[in-house]
Amino acid sequence: MSDQFSDLKLERKECEKCGAIWINGQHIWGGTGNTGSETDLAGLVCNKLGDHRCINPMKGQDGGQTWEYRAGYIDGKIDERKRMLGELDKFADE
Ligand SMILES: [Zn+2]
């Protein structure tokens, strides 16, 4: 994925602990190449996996996205759907 950048002079840093990548000081998600928030990265990865080797400057900061946040969002959607299906069952039984 570095091909598109190969003509440019750039500084690439990779966190040896969690594999996060910074290009010229901007954190990017390795999987997608999209720019990312260091706070989200901390919440999703570094606060759990990172140790003293982690180079994310936001490691240890709360306020980014977390898996709990994402899981909570998805659970909420599932509950909503279950309630809806439950309502339908009530009508079907009558
Ligand atoms: Zn890290």
Taking the centre of ligand 1 as the mean of its atom positions, its distance from the CA of residue 37, in whole angstroms, is: 13
> What is the arithmetic mean of pLDDT over 36-63?
90
Residue 91 pLDDT greater than 60, yes or no? yes
Q: What are phi and psi of 22, to 5 degrees?
A: -120, 130
Q: Over the range 28-55, which residues count as b (16 or more CB within 10 Å of their CB) and which as e?
A: beeeeeeebebbbbbbbbbbeebeeebe
List the chain domain ranges.
1-63, 66-94
pTM summary value: 0.60
Taking the centre of ligand 1 as the mean of its atom positions, its distance from the CA of residue 81, in whole angstroms, is: 37
3-state secondary structure of 94: coil
Q: Listing from the earlier edge strand, what are the strands of the sheet with 21-23?
A: 12-14, 21-23, 26-28
Taking the centre of ligand 1 as the mean of its atom positions, its distance from the CA of residue 11, in whole angstroms, is: 17
23-27, 39-43, 67-71, range with the lowest pLDDT = 67-71
Taking the centre of ligand 1 as the mean of its atom positions, its distance from the CA of residue 20, in whole angstroms, is: 6
Taking the centre of ligand 1 as the mean of its atom positions, its distance from the CA of residue 57, in whole angstroms, is: 9
The CA distance from 23 to 18, in Å, is 16
Taking the centre of ligand 1 as the mean of its atom positions, its distance from the CA of residue 48, in whole angstroms, is: 9
- In a 13 Å sphere around the CA of 17, the CA atoms on its Cβ side amount to 15
